[in-house]
Each structure stands twice: as structure tokens, then as C-alpha cells.
Amino acid sequence: MKIRLDKYLADAGFGTRNEVKALVKSGAITINGEKIKDSSQKVDTDTDEVNVNGEDVDYSEYEYYMLYKPAGIITASRDKKEETVLNLIKSKKRRDLFPVGRLDRDTEGLLLITNDGELSHKLLSPGKHVEKGYVAVVTGYSPDDIEALFENGLDIGDEKPTKPAKLRRFSDLEEFMTEYDDSYFAEKFSKLKEDESLTIYEIKITEGRYHEIKRMFEAVGCSVVYLKRYSMGSLTLDPELKPGEYRKLKIDEYKKLKTTCTAPFLVI
Ligand code: URA
């Protein structure tokens, strides 16, 4: 792909478009060994070797990160006052990264961070029905037919009822642990466990409405006290990650996502 030098440098994190123009004018840039002072010069992102003050530019057209979003951080690209999930991605090169979908401030778990708008659109598009899997700790008396109520769709005060959601109740932490083996969750749960009426549910939804899971449980008279996302389509949260940690997506993880959602090929 051929793009302007100023866009190339700005995308690679060397400053705003104006800052990189000044950098180019200062004579700091070479392309294939030749000094370039014109920021409108085209760069072939696949074959050209660009240097800034003698250092190779490590350019990626797309970046893909799996983040374990911790509670207390907002899902936004930037914010004037608060730390965002993007601030946690310290090794990012691109300036145009964004979170795919939104988790509430108090929700934890899997968040994909990328600048691939096409992939993001396809993961979030209601027509694609991409499943997102969560575990919710819920307080209050659950109706006996709660699974059927979630499956049939609930009136949560929006124009339309929710799309069918798959709900599964765990009898206790032990049963949850045989499947999820999440010691971090177990620790959290034991701190919540003062209230004996807590129930652990696995819930799979295909929409992404505002506070959707919390509002679904409220619609049946319950309240979510803890929520964690484990999966989004074929992508699952790496159990090695701790809250606040992240890593690049692996090629096979990306390829699997791509089979449900056609997207540009990954360059990691
Ligand atoms: N549903 C919610 O209520 N909150 C989230 O963060 C995600 C889904």
C-alpha cells in the first residue's frame, strides 16, 4: 500500500500530522537511504525502508491486542480526565487504536483493541450474531424458569425485546471452577460471598446494548454484582493474563476470528 510520508509517520506514532511535517523538514527522514524533505512523498508500506534519525521505523498497518480489562477503567480511546483502556496498551505503535465494543466501568475481562474497523464492524454488527460469553454473579431470587425467560427475549425497556440469550446456572463455585478454573474469579467470589443468595451464571448474548446483561437480570428481579467477559466469537480470554495485562493476538486467533468475519489479513 502506498501512503503519504506524513500519514505514515503519524500512524507510526511520531506525532501529529503537523509535528511530523516539521520532522520531515528538519531532514531527519530517509527513505531507502535517501534524505526526504517533502512530506507528501509516497511510501510503499510493504517495501520501503524508512529511517527517523537513523532508526528504522517499525510500521504496522493493523495492530490487534487482547486486553484483560480491569474494573474501574473506562472503555474509551481517550478521555480528558480519566485513564482509559487505551492507556493500558503501553507498547502500541498506532495512534488510531480503539476498543471493539464497550464494557462497563465495573465489568472485567476480554477486550479486543485494534485499528481494524472492518473486523470491529463485523464482530459488533447485530446481523452477524457474534456470541459474547460472560460470567455474572447475581443477587436476588431467580425465577425457576430464568433460562427460558432469557432464551425467549426480555423486555428491558427498549423498543424491542432482547435477542435470545443462553443462560446456564452453576450450582456453586466448585462446579464453576471445574469448567473455568479461574482462581482470580474464585478469590473475587469469596470476597463477595457474605450474601448467601449469590448465584453464578454463564450468559451468552449476541447483542451489545447499553448495560444489557445488568438490565436483563433486573427485568427478572435480580441484580448483577460482578460481571466478567470471557469470550467474543472464537476469541477467549488468555488465562495467563491478569487484570490490566495484555498481549498481541496470535495469528491463529486472528484467523479464527476472520473465518466468521472476513477482514484484511493480519500483519503482526
Ligand atoms: N452487559 C452489561 O450490562 N455490562 C457490560 O459491561 C457488558 C454487557
Condensed to tens digits (0 to 9), the pLDDT of residues 160-187 reads 999 999 999 999 999 999 999 999 999 9
The band of 128, judged by pLDDT with boundaries at 50, 70 and 90, is: confident
Q: Could you give the CA distance from residue 245 to residue 262 in angstroms, rounded to a whole number?
A: 28
Rounded to the nearest angstrom, the distance between the alpha carbon of 171 and the centre of ligand 1 is 23
Q: Is the CB of 203 under 6 A from ligand 1?
A: no
| Strand 166-170, strand 199-205: pairing | antiparallel
Q: Which atom of ligand 1 is nearest to the CA of 216?
A: 3
Q: Crossing angle of helices 183-192/173-180, nearest 10°? A: 160
Query: Model pTM?
Result: 0.88
Give 3-state DSSP helix, strand, coil % of the chain, rounded to 5: 30, 25, 45
The band of 16, judged by pLDDT with boundaries at 50, 70 and 90, is: confident
- pLDDT of amino acid 151: 97
The percent of residues above 90 in pLDDT, for the chain, comes to 82
Q: Is the CB of 213 under 6 A from ligand 1?
A: yes
Average pLDDT over residues 76-81: 93
- pLDDT of amino acid 259: 83
- pLDDT of amino acid 214: 98
- pLDDT of amino acid 195: 63
Average pLDDT over residues 218-228: 97
Q: Which atom of ligand 1 is nearest to the CA of 208?
A: 8
- pLDDT of amino acid 261: 58
Rounded to the nearest angstrom, the distance between the alpha carbon of 124 and the centre of ligand 1 is 14
Q: Is the CB of 250 under 6 A from ligand 1?
A: no
Q: Is the CB of 107 under 6 A from ligand 1?
A: yes
Average pLDDT over residues 226-231: 98
Average pLDDT over residues 60-87: 95
Q: Among all residues, which ones are annotated catalytic?
A: 104
Q: Which atom of ligand 1 is nearest to the CA of 211?
A: 3
Average pLDDT, the chain: 93
